[in-house]
Amino acid sequence: MLAPDEEGLSSLLGDQPVLRFASFVVQVEGGGIVDTSSSVLNRIVASLPIDPSSSETGTRAVNGVEWAISQVKLKPSENVGDMTAYVAATVYNDTAYTVVAAAPSPEWSREAPTFQKMFDSIRFIAPQARAAEATKTPLASAAVFESAIPSPTVMMTPTLTETMPVETRPPAPTETPTPVIHVVRSGDTLLAIAAQYGVSVQDLQAANGIEDPTRLQIGQQLIIPIGGYVPLGGGVAGTGTPIAGATATRAATVTPTQSAKVTALPTETGAEMNPPTPTAAQAAQPTPKPVEPVLSGKIVYPVYVPDRKLQGQMGSFDIYMSDLQGSDPQLLAYNASQPCLNLGGDLLAYKSWDSTARGLAFLTIGGGRSGLLTNYIEDGLPYWDPSSITLVFTSRREGDRVPRMFRVNQTNNRESGFGLIAEYASVFPDGRIVYRGCTVEGACGLFIVSAEGVGATKITDNTSDTAPAPSPDGSKIAFMSLTREGAGNYEIYVMNSDGQNVVRLTNNSANDGLPTWSPDGSTIAFVSDRDGTWGIWAMNPDGSNQRKLFTMRGSPDGIVGAELLSSRGWLEERISWSR
């Protein structure tokens, strides 16, 4: 059990569950289990006081193991608060594993992204027994289950020890040390960074002029005050140079001791735990150079196939998946486009142009469940909700052909409409939705609405703004626009999630668009034909370091001749980057 506060460690599952505070609970039921993942899930959910009207159920393959999953809202009772919970279950080598991640409903949007990362990190390290061996001695639970979540950082508490007064001498001249630079990644906190390098939070704040330690930005460069480095314009607390001839009446030696208790949820910093060793530099105050982020994960993208016939007409699409170097691209879906990977990278949603299976579909990366989700060719641009149970999409299926927003469940195909005029919807990690839309009066731009479709707020007023992509921490939105700043061609911009501080990132006569963020938020990938061929490009979130990653297998732009009313070229395409 893990919890952000001590109160959460009081959570209990079973016949009389206790769930009042945020917690992440893993339950293991011994060997000899013959249930299916779904039956285990149903049994656990049945023990909780759920609100049936708010329950959504699906399946996912997490690190090669299929889990039955459900997101539910709990009815308040004596031992259960107003809670939202994510419940998952699987059976592996005759042992049932259940995960229940719960938080008070008002706090769910804040806790859910962390819960999702924790769940996605679970993997089994023992091979799965073959059916013939499953009836023999079950493997011990502890031997087959692990989590890739880093252990909570053990803080070092200094203990002061008095020493006798000593006379100090003028210090010998030393060369100026080279500063150590930490580039902030998604999930970093000032406390975790300080612990990683063995410095205090106060020294870290002083070295970087940070007043509010809770307001870090992804990509921000922090000077780490180790090895005697003091930044220009001020000293780091506790690193001053003694005055020649002065006598110290009391000196202190620091003996690190481990703190006894850590109750905070682990934070995924993605940084090296051993700080680099400073080396001498000749310059008086060297300028720190940021380390270029190492790109990892996979990108899926559409490729237009102009010479393929569908229903007697020319033109179709295929979806390819590649690493960030473009090596060994894999054909994932035939006669398909508008791909979207879920946060865990195990599920792909897409638009199917196939005449025998038109609509929205999904598949499991590496094999597993797949199928058609909707049956309208007008449906498009699916985007996974954070739970990976449901998807948001837009459609012109209704008689007036006005685009509207819908949601569909990936297990039972149950649909619901939002009643919003919307195109190109994308989902924040906390469930909010950003989309290109219009009011009934005809005022168009980008809008943000709650996960339930309530309280739509217009955040831009340029009618050509489209393809919004929320950052992994939810603080920024990248998007493309045709007419901003008189561009005359599509360029990429980034802004705060409330629509403020719009910054242009690309500026050339070619087409740049379809932005997507790296899983850690350090990089934005996009498509461009600026060198004469369509390719996947990348840049930092401030627009610097623009470079081509690889050439695509073909153009993302084209019209499906058999579906002229539903095919709108690259402006209704998407690329997606996930783990």
Concatenated DSSP letters for 535-553? EEEEE-TTS-S-EEEEE-S
For the residues 253-278, what does the mean pLDDT come to? 38
For the residues 322-338, what does the mean pLDDT come to? 92
Q: Which helix (H) or strand (E) holds 370?
A: strand 370-372
Report the C-alpha gap between 426 and 434 in whole angstroms.
5
pLDDT for residue 290:
53
Angle between helix 201-208 and 190-197 (nearest 10): 110
For the residues 568-573, what does the mean pLDDT come to? 94
pLDDT for residue 150:
42
pLDDT for residue 15:
79
Task: Please indicate whether residue 96 or residue 52 has the higher confidence score (pLDDT).
Answer: 96
Report the C-alpha gap between 108 and 507 in whole angstroms.
39
Contact criterion met (CB below 8 Å) for 361 and 336? yes
Kindly list the distances between the CA atom of residue 88 and the CA atoms of 33, 39, 140, 486, in Å, as whole numbers in the listed order.
16, 11, 21, 50
282-302 confidence digits (pLDDT tens): 444 555 555 566 788 999 999
Query: pLDDT grade, residue 258 (50/70/90)?
Result: very low
Query: What is the pLDDT of the chain when averaged over all its residues?
Result: 80
Query: pLDDT grade, residue 340 (50/70/90)?
Result: very high
pLDDT for residue 492:
97
Report the C-alpha gap between 353 and 251 in whole angstroms.
76
Kindly list the distances between the CA atom of residue 398 and the CA atoms of 334, 376, 377, 394, in Å, as whole numbers in the listed order.
27, 10, 12, 11
Query: pLDDT grade, residue 177 (50/70/90)?
Result: low
Using alpha carbons, select from 396, 377, 398 the residue that is nearest to residue 560: 377
21-67 confidence digits (pLDDT tens): 999 999 898 766 667 888 888 888 888 888 877 777 888 888 888 89
CATH superfamily, with its number, for domain 180-230: LysM domain (3.10.350.10)
438-476 confidence digits (pLDDT tens): 888 888 999 999 999 999 999 999 999 999 999 999 999
Report the C-alpha gap between 360 and 338 in whole angstroms.
10
569: helix, strand or coil? helix
Q: Is the dihedral of CA 376, 379, 383, 386 positive or negative?
A: negative
Cβ-based neighbour number of residue 404 at 10 Å: 19
pLDDT for residue 358:
94
Residue count of the chain, please give it. Answer: 579
For the residues 198-211, what does the mean pLDDT come to? 80
pLDDT for residue 394:
97
298-578 carries CATH number 3.30.70.60: no
Q: How far apart are the first and last CA of the chain?
A: 25
Query: pLDDT grade, residue 116 (50/70/90)?
Result: confident
Kindly list the distances between the CA atom of residue 436 and the CA atoms of 393, 421, 506, in Å, as whole numbers in the listed order.
12, 9, 21
**Window from 96-105, 106-115, 392-401, 523-532 with minimum mean pLDDT:** 106-115
Q: Kindly report whether the global pTM for this prediction surpasses the value 0.85.
A: no
pLDDT for residue 542:
96
Cα diameter, the chain: 94
Domain boundaries, the chain: 6-147, 180-230, 298-578
Concatenated DSSP letters for 192-251? HHHHHHT--HHHHHHHHT-S-TT---TT-EEEE--TT---TTSPPTT-PPPPTT-EES--
pLDDT for residue 17:
84
**Window from 40-49, 90-99, 143-152 with minimum mean pLDDT:** 143-152
310: helix, strand or coil? strand
Query: pLDDT grade, residue 230 (50/70/90)?
Result: low
Q: Which CATH number is correct for 6-147, 3.30.450, 3.40.1000, 3.30.70, 1.20.120? A: 3.40.1000
